[in-house]
Structure 1
Amino acid sequence: MPATPRTYAFLGPEGTFTEAALLQVPGALDAVRLPASNVNAALEKVRDGSAYAAMVPIENSVEGGVTATLDAIATGQELRIIREVLVPISFVLAARPGVRLEDVRRVSTHGHAWAQCRMWMEANIPAAEYVPGSSTAAAALGLLAGDCPYDAAICTPLVAREHPGLSVLAENIGDNPGAVTRFILVSRPGMLPARTGADKTTVVVPLPEDRPGALMEILDQFASRGVNLSRIESRPTGQYLGHYFFSIDADGHAREARMADALAGLHRISPATRFLGSYARADQQEIPVPAYTSDAAFSAARSWVQAILAAESFAGENASAASPTA
């Protein structure tokens, strides 16, 4: 009996950069792939068990963190990041056949895509109005509807090629040719991915108290153990004005002594800290670890302290045995 294929959710519809990221996951091509209209919907399919994992965007090299994802994984039923994927980003301007560039008055796309093509738009069709779309693919497919309220869409070359009802008005319209978006594959909590030596750990740390030095205490849990941070962003918790949590990516794996010690320190000062996973870096770049923060150094330090305590205990027992009885 053939094995049932896994089911993955992703920020859809089909043809998005997110689906391109998902297709980099081994086995995803033959899996059941469920497009979702937004990040929360994709993650909910994981939480309710209708999908094994979901692929969602978390960071862009131009625009920074994807706030919808940062907020969605910081709250609700806990999830774990088990993989990250990097996808180079390229955009085209698509329209219905017969539409010319000079005819375009309204353009739809995802907010991050618009931000990455803003200079091209201002240079070529400065009067065009932006119409927000849930994704680049959704904006492009919207052009196929008879009552579409906009004239063109910024989308991936793949979507434009796969739909004969679309024509490309301009290619490579991104303002940053080297733009990359980072995606994460998120599942329910389970076994941590194996330690590779080129790993990343993501946590969400609520600010325990709004006072001078509170953030420094959080950062010191990493710095004092030789753990480098590759990303830190503050996001409002929504509880009240001035209440924030920090979304943090740190270089290393929870199975490393230095990272485990840092996580324990975070939990000590902010018990609501949420561990979101340790997983392999997409760029496979190994992070050098100073000798004094290596696993061997932590092990030697623990043994040294244990030896001190054992010696003190032994001395105390001897002293008790040598004392005269009353």
Structure 2
Amino acid sequence: MPRTAYFGPQGTFTEQAARGFDERAELVPLPTIPEAVAALRAGDVDFACVPIENSVEGAVSATMDTLAVAEPVVAVGEYVLPIRFSLLVRPGAVAADIKTVASHPHALAQVRTWLGRHLPDARQLAATSTAAAAVGVLDGEFDAAITAPVAATHYPLTVLAGDLADEPDAVTRFLLLTRPGKIPAPTGADRTSVIVIVAHRPGELAAMLTELALRGINLSRIESRPLRARFGEYRFYLDFDGHVSEARVGDALAALHRRSQEVRFLGSYPKADGAASVAAPGTLDSDYDASAAWIATLRGEEPG
């Protein structure tokens, strides 16, 4: 049975995502994202499930920073989870009793309007996770917690309100990480993720993106994070359609490797939405094979 570390404690959205990847897995809750990934790197678990981005609050910086340093890990799957929250209190409590409400900052941001309307006088406090906020309610540290619905199954608290979301279509994307090795086979609906550090000179970012555009590769996400030891310089996180086994993707990665200070491969894996990764005319594997054969004839080389 595989063991999967996840950003805990029990009762987080990440737990729900980890179960979505594999209901049979033994789940190991850890208090922070770096600790979950460290357990994977150390070989204590087979996988780690972490959030990577939210449709309302954007990228999860702790995950991005953790993926960028230390031993490489790669994503082998993604899971997109609709986000709805519950308001948990100690048994017997009512809305008038709530002076403080706690949650992860991303969660508080996604119910800010609801809290302003229903609990305008309650002080909002940050917790390390939605489930940690529930634990804080149990311990008397907070009066209420904004949590994932699954938290109500783990903690003896009362659901005072449910199905909370300022944005009804909000989702969070999660990655299932493992140590480098065999990657998932291409499905035709794949995503590739990399981290790139380019030279700090004019035009390098545009040149990086041009390597993808020239090969007809659809860039679906780009984020930047600072290089902590070099103020004013950044690493770029790229998600784009396609699989490393495709000629166009492999060729683009090779070009990025040639011209960049560093390229870290974060995996090629099936997209959660199943949308096909369509190659533009002239960028199919057969097109690359034909052009390579043509070059071989120019060089007087034997076919094959």
TM more than 0.5: yes
| Counterpart-to-counterpart distance in 1, 2:26 and 2:87 | 30
TM-superposition CA deviations, 1:152-173 (whole Å, max 9, x none) = 000122212443x311222222
| Counterpart-to-counterpart distance in 2, 1:281 and 1:112 | 24
| Counterpart-to-counterpart distance in 1, 2:37 and 2:195 | 17
Whichever residue aligns with residue 126 of structure 1, its letter is P
> Quick one: percent identity of the two aligned structures?
44
Match of 1:76 in 2: 70
Match of 2:197 in 1: 206
| Counterpart-to-counterpart distance in 2, 1:250 and 1:78 | 19
| Counterpart-to-counterpart distance in 1, 2:257 and 2:292 | 20
TM-superposition CA deviations, 1:278-325 (whole Å, max 9, x none) = 0111111102211211111111111111111117x9xxxxxxxxxxxx
> What secondary structure, in the 3-state scheme, does the structure 2 residue paired with 1:94 have?
strand
| Counterpart-to-counterpart distance in 2, 1:122 and 1:303 | 66
**TM-score scaled by length of structure 2:** 0.96
Query: 1:1-326 residue pairs with structure 2 within 5 A?
Result: 5-26=1-22, 29-145=23-139, 148-163=140-155, 165-209=156-200, 211-310=201-300
Q: Any conservation in 2 of the 1:207–1:243 contact (CA below 8 Å)? A: no
| Counterpart-to-counterpart distance in 2, 1:300 and 1:113 | 52
- Compute the displacement of 1:225 (Å): 0.4
| Counterpart-to-counterpart distance in 2, 1:158 and 1:55 | 16
In structure 2, the CA distance between the partners of 1:161 and 1:187, relative to structure 1 (3 Å rule), is closer
Instruction: Structure 1: state its 5+ residue gaps.
Output: 314-326
Q: Any conservation in 1 of the 2:133–2:142 contact (CA below 8 Å)? A: no
TM-superposition CA deviations, 1:188-223 (whole Å, max 9, x none) = 1001110000000000001222x2211001101100
- Compute the displacement of 1:248 (Å): 0.6
| Counterpart-to-counterpart distance in 1, 2:111 and 2:99 | 16
- Compare 125-134 and 58-67 and name the one that shifted more: 125-134
CA RMSD, 1 decimal: 1.4
Q: Any conservation in 1 of the 2:104–2:127 contact (CA below 8 Å)? A: yes
Whichever residue aligns with residue 64 of structure 1, its letter is G
Higher alpha-carbon Rg: 1
In structure 2, the CA distance between the partners of 1:49 and 1:63, relative to structure 1 (3 Å rule), is same
Q: Any conservation in 1 of the 2:11–2:152 contact (CA below 8 Å)? A: no
Whichever residue aligns with residue 247 of structure 2, its letter is A
| Counterpart-to-counterpart distance in 2, 1:189 and 1:60 | 26
Q: Any conservation in 2 of the 1:109–1:134 contact (CA below 8 Å)? A: yes
| Counterpart-to-counterpart distance in 1, 2:269 and 2:150 | 29
Q: Any conservation in 2 of the 1:197–1:286 contact (CA below 8 Å)? A: yes
**TM-score scaled by length of structure 1:** 0.89
Whichever residue aligns with residue 4 of structure 2, its letter is Y
* Count, aligned residues: 302
| Counterpart-to-counterpart distance in 2, 1:20 and 1:170 | 20
TM-superposition CA deviations, 1:13-54 (whole Å, max 9, x none) = 11211111111223xx33321101000000000010000110
TM-superposition CA deviations, 1:42-79 (whole Å, max 9, x none) = 00000100001100000111111111001100111111
> What secondary structure, in the 3-state scheme, does the structure 2 residue paired with 1:292 have?
coil
Q: Any conservation in 1 of the 2:54–2:170 contact (CA below 8 Å)? A: yes
Whichever residue aligns with residue 143 of structure 2, its letter is D
Whichever residue aligns with residue 70 of structure 2, its letter is G
| Counterpart-to-counterpart distance in 2, 1:227 and 1:78 | 24
Q: Any conservation in 1 of the 2:72–2:179 contact (CA below 8 Å)? A: yes
